[in-house]
Structure 1
Amino acid sequence: MIDSMATEENKIKEVLSFTIDLSERVRHAAEEAESFKVDCAEVGKQADRLITMIWAAARFATSTGSLYERPIRRIVADVSKNLDRALTLVRKCKRRSVLRRVVTIVSAADFRKVTTLLDASIGDMKWLLSIFESSSGGGGIVLSMPPIASNDPILSWVWSFIASIHSGQLNDRIEAANELASLAKDNDRNKKIIDEEGGVPPLLKLLKENTSPEAQSAAATALLNLANDQERVHSIADELGVPIIVQVLGDSPMRVQIRVANLVARMAEHDPFAQEDFARENAIRPLVTLLSFETFVDDTTNLQYGKQSIHSLVQINKEMERNSLMSFNYKPHSNSSLSLHSEGSSRGGGHHRKERESEKPQVKLELKITCAEALWMLAKGSVSNSRRITETKGLLCLAKLVEKESGELQFNCLMTLMEITAAAEYNADLRRAAFKTNSPAAKAVVDQLLRIIKESDSPTLRIPAIKSIGSLARTFPARETRVIGPLVEQLSHRNQDVATEAAISLGKFVCPDNFLCAEHSKTIIEFNGVPPLMRLLRGNDRSLLYGLVLLCYLALHAGNNEALKQARVLTALEGADRAVVTHPELRELVPQAIYHLNIYHTDVLPQRQSYSP
């Protein structure tokens, strides 16, 4: 790292040395001019001013510990281009043969153009020096605009703010980070400029330094506003941002943790690689710990899980509080970047505990909401992260919060459970480990999912609960009929999306992949599920599709049941919309179901009935 910094410093010195040398050549050429002497002298004076300014920039570049290079490189490159043009013009004014003087025509207009360009370069260098002097001397943020950015003032503001974060006083750094956050919030173009101009590294440095909660919040907010795009999330991760974020998440005041948890959620949402990076840095454990803060303390007597499980919940909560930061020192790989922050995080567990306990209830609630959202985004589509959440006893915490909370926190916890159960549906190891029938955590989750399905008036809550029960279909034994009854009831729900999701979930109970499909099919019919299912076929294309799938499975596994005959299921299948029947999922299923029903219902008249919408 030190060698890299030294190399970069040498490169800057080389760029500045080249420009100084070019300025000297312009000045000498101006002194040797034989024609347009007055104009050449003016160019020489401009070159002399630039020499002084570039030397000042070089002294600053070698003396400062934190150098922001982007404006130096852009401005000095533009200065060099203008000096090269001036040198070409001034050399034409040197004594030459009569023929060369005739061929090479120099006009006053040429000098006006060159002096205008050099004036712009002087203005750019003046602005550059003011930026560095202001940031190093505590003179506040410079918001003037250099000529190079006359067509894009955002660029000069971004340069000024980033320079202040690099080497300014603390108050100026906080103000600059807030300004970058505001610019990034405005539009994606501003986000792109901030990223391209090197805004991410100083923001991460400010976040990591732990100099003040206000500074950390400002840096986290700016990074949050940048992280709505996979490419910019990559920029944060490439600067070793993930271990820094996890460190701050584990050892910061609650208001900072809220911003950082939001950042974790945003990055995980937009980049699957960031999901895995956070998992490797063990971000899930502190998130579960923060989410469980004060969750099991107040009302253990009201829990539904019995005395033994109440004790387990309390003990698990205490264990997570006590050991939350031991996980930061875990190194899955010897070269893990965790070593960058293990020392800082080792202080974290109780460092801000008293502050957290005395925080306002709305702040505590906001932290839990953001932590739940972060877990949701980390679990989304990720079997490994879902497994990690279950291994930290997160299922118990999520179940309890679904039980006792409402609004956004309840919804985020429910969506996290939905993602975990979806991962378990397709991963047998996770399903067996986390959702064993004798597991208190699994029982707690199922109890709360069923309660939401039965009692909630909100389709927004009912749908993820229904999906979760469907994902767990293969974990329920044949005697566990209590989960099927509530799903059958939802087939009659007035909201067609809820009814359709119930049909999809019931379809997972009776599909051939489920070993108990025949037993579950009989249970659905016993709960009088056929009549509402037949009504569902009159809905939109989606409800018709999944209604037919469920109906076909019932026919295949319980075709001799009288309820199917009375409901004229065979007639319904024969009269189903041809466009729907050609769907890949139904192309073979419908003919099989019709054939199976014909075996038992040969006396049914072939009356055709269409349920197309």
Structure 2
Amino acid sequence: MTTTEEKRIQDELSYPILVAERVRLAVDVADSFKLECSEVWKQVDRLLQMLRTLVRFASTTTATAAAPPIYERPIRRIAAETAKNLDRAYALVRKCNRPSIFHRVVNMVTAADFRKLLSHLDASVGDLKWLLSILDADGGSASGGGGGIVLSLPPIASNDPILSWVWSFIATIQMGQLNDRIEAANELASLAKDNDRNKKIIIEESGIPPLLKLLKEIASPVAQIAAATALCHLANDLERVRMIVNELGVPIVVQVLSDSSMRVQTKAANLVARMAEHDPLAQEDFARENAIRPLVTLLSFDMLVDDQMGKLGNQSIHSLVQISKKMEKKLLVTKSSNGSLGNSYSNNSYLHMEGSSRGWNHRKERENEDPVVKLQLKISCAEALWMLAKGSVSNSKKITETKGMLCLAKLVEKEQGELQYNCLMTIMEITAAAESNDDLRRAAFKTNSPPAKAVVEQLLRIIKEVDSPILQIPAVKSIGSLARTFSARETQVIAPLVAQLSNRNIDVAADAIIALGKFACPSNFLCVQHSKAIIEFSGVPALVRLLRANEVTQFHGLVLLCYLALHAGNSESLEQARVLTALEGADRAVITQHPELRELVARAIVHLNLYHAGMNSQRISYLP
């Protein structure tokens, strides 16, 4: 706590003490309602004693470097309310000492006034008594701070009990013993779960800093898990995530991610995912703090993904894994004989946890860990990478630079369920970024790049072999995003997309249309060759059928048919599928909503009439 903060809290407490002293002097000179004034003084004296105890506690806590900082939020609220009630007491008691009959008549005092005042003072006594209990300011614990969780209800929070619970939990997390802090963090997480109002109260009452401090308790994984869980529940909108960022939470989370047990790392990865999902600034901060490398490291700690990949040529993912296992055994032998890793392999040769002095301890822990825990860690890391890559070219570039692409491809090949899905979604975001950025696309998806080959191979496998729309959709989108990277000879990419035009799931078919549209659009240098390939693989009849499915497939289907007509208008397949008729009979409502589509359809009709005028020349007047 800084000196300025100390002065502020001292000022907050000194004012009600000053008013209480004034009440004492006013009671001494009161010449009416002396009995009532005496009762008032008894309550004020109790308040005075508790206020002084609180001042001494605050001063002692501030002066002791080893002591945790005092939790100020309830002190300020209760001190302000107490000062207000003491002002009322001073004003009422002063009315009992009026020198003239005129003043006594004008400032008439009744017994009811005293009853009301005593009720207010009783409330302040209850508030201060509760406050001292949650701070343990009366010496209830040997440590002199944090008396454990207090769930009683102070009068100030009688209309909102959640507030008093939040105060108690936060005070315990900030000032209590470790076991109490863990319990309080779990209680705070329970309050925050699925309740935005509770989240707002926790944030407003300064719950983030003590949770971040608890997250750094490396000696207690249980404490770290409790803190990370509470923070995850809080990090579900931009404003709350920004609060965590502003409290310098990002470097703390990255440190925990790099140097903790697997169960803690899982929670830290979940927190990265939540923060990156809701706040672009958090995305940037995590990248700046180099969070991507430990995430890829944890995702691929049992895989070989180093620079030697260029030497391994076109070997399959399975063969790479076998090589990884053999080289890992050799690495362990080298370490046991030399007492160190030696010079045989660079630090980047294996993406296992060697980011700290505790790396080998964590490695041993991972080997003995429950497979379910290992799987959950990878699931969480994959989701974190997905959220970091989402809409971010720079983060996508960092993932490809850490050899994350090959790792993602291998996991898509070997895993199932949530891990496979998260890896596919990460690839989808990376390819989307590559579509919008030429430099990233050229660097990460070169035709002779083993990671790029591995990724494309798995994407095509998912499209062709996996009957699951939830997996096929990101795979189809990813291939579409990479449309400009494929040569005219790579027709094996076109065929699976054309096949998905007949998928019984309309969403998969719609995304296949969109993906093929990126191959055939004029901005693609090879649009003519790709258009001919789409026609050769019998894509036109399926496209014409999809024009009747829904508005999405109709719009994108019309766009793709127009591209095919413009780039391969003399194809007999277009005539046989009655594409000209389909374009002329397209839903005018859809065309009207999209002026660019209206112009495109008109151009396609004109172009087709050049080749098929014998059948449809009378309908060239279609031009809108």
Partner of 1:38: 35
Q: Alpha carbons of 1:321 and 1:184: their partners in 2 closer, same or farther (altered >3 Å)?
A: farther
| Segment drifting more, 45-54 vs 547-556 | 45-54
CA contact (8 A) 1:403 1:448 kept: yes
Match for residue 584 of structure 1 among 595, 602, 620: 595
TM (norm. structure 2) is 0.90
TM (norm. structure 1) is 0.92
CA contact (8 A) 2:300 2:351 kept: no
Q: Deviations over 1:384-428 (max 9, x none)?
A: 100000000000000000000000000000000000000000100
Q: Alpha carbons of 1:202 and 1:478: their partners in 2 closer, same or farther (altered >3 Å)?
A: same
CA contact (8 A) 1:449 1:465 kept: yes
Q: Deviations over 1:438-495 (max 9, x none)?
A: 1001000000000000000101100110000000000001111110011111111111
Partner of 1:251: 259
Match for residue 113 of structure 1 among 111, 116, 124: 116
- Paired residues, number: 585
Offset of residue 12 of structure 1: 0.8
Partner of 2:308: none
Counterpart code for 1:430: L
CA RMSD of aligned residues (A): 2.3
Gaps of 5+ in 2: 62-66, 306-311, 329-344, 620-624
Write out aligned runs for 1:205-354 (5 A).
Answer: 205-296=213-304, 304=316, 319-320=347-348, 346-354=356-364
Partner of 1:74: 77
Match for residue 545 of structure 1 among 548, 555, 561: 555
Match for residue 128 of structure 2 among 122, 125, 135: 125
Match status 1:363 vs 2:373 = yes
Q: Alpha carbons of 1:219 and 1:229: their partners in 2 closer, same or farther (altered >3 Å)?
A: same
Q: Deviations over 1:472-520 (max 9, x none)?
A: 0000011111100111111111111111111110000010110000011
Distance 1:240 1:503 in 2: 45
Counterpart code for 2:19: L
Write out aligned runs for 1:512-531 (5 A).
Answer: 512-531=522-541
Identity of aligned residues (%): 70
Distance 1:596 1:280 in 2: 52
Partner of 1:194: 202
Q: Alpha carbons of 1:414 and 1:319: their partners in 2 closer, same or farther (altered >3 Å)?
A: farther
Counterpart code for 1:577: D
Distance 2:572 2:321 in 1: 44
Offset of residue 211 of structure 1: 2.9
Q: Secondary structure at the match of 1:141?
A: coil
Q: Alpha carbons of 1:607 and 1:120: their partners in 2 closer, same or farther (altered >3 Å)?
A: farther
Partner of 2:612: 601
Match status 1:557 vs 2:567 = yes
Q: Deviations over 1:292-341 (max 9, x none)?
A: 022459xx999625978986999899844767788xxxxxxxxxxxxxxx
Partner of 1:504: 514
Counterpart code for 2:463: I
Distance 1:301 1:425 in 2: 26
Distance 2:313 2:453 in 1: 18
CA contact (8 A) 1:295 1:401 kept: no
Distance 1:469 1:385 in 2: 20
Match status 1:483 vs 2:486 = no
Q: Alpha carbons of 1:302 and 1:593: their partners in 2 closer, same or farther (altered >3 Å)?
A: closer
Offset of residue 350 of structure 1: 3.1
| Segment drifting more, 309-318 vs 72-81 | 309-318
CA contact (8 A) 1:510 1:521 kept: yes
Q: Alpha carbons of 1:312 and 1:441: their partners in 2 closer, same or farther (altered >3 Å)?
A: farther
Q: Deviations over 1:330-375 (max 9, x none)?
A: xxxxxxxxxxxxxxx7435334221111101110000000000000
Gaps of 5+ in 1: 327-344, 609-613
Partner of 2:309: none
Q: Secondary structure at the match of 2:2?
A: helix
Match for residue 19 of structure 1 among 16, 20, 42: 16
CA contact (8 A) 1:552 1:590 kept: yes
Q: Deviations over 1:558-612 (max 9, x none)?
A: 001111111111111111111112223412110010011011110114799xxxx
Q: Alpha carbons of 1:6 and 1:315: their partners in 2 closer, same or farther (altered >3 Å)?
A: farther
Distance 2:553 2:459 in 1: 22
Distance 1:309 1:217 in 2: 32
Partner of 1:393: 403
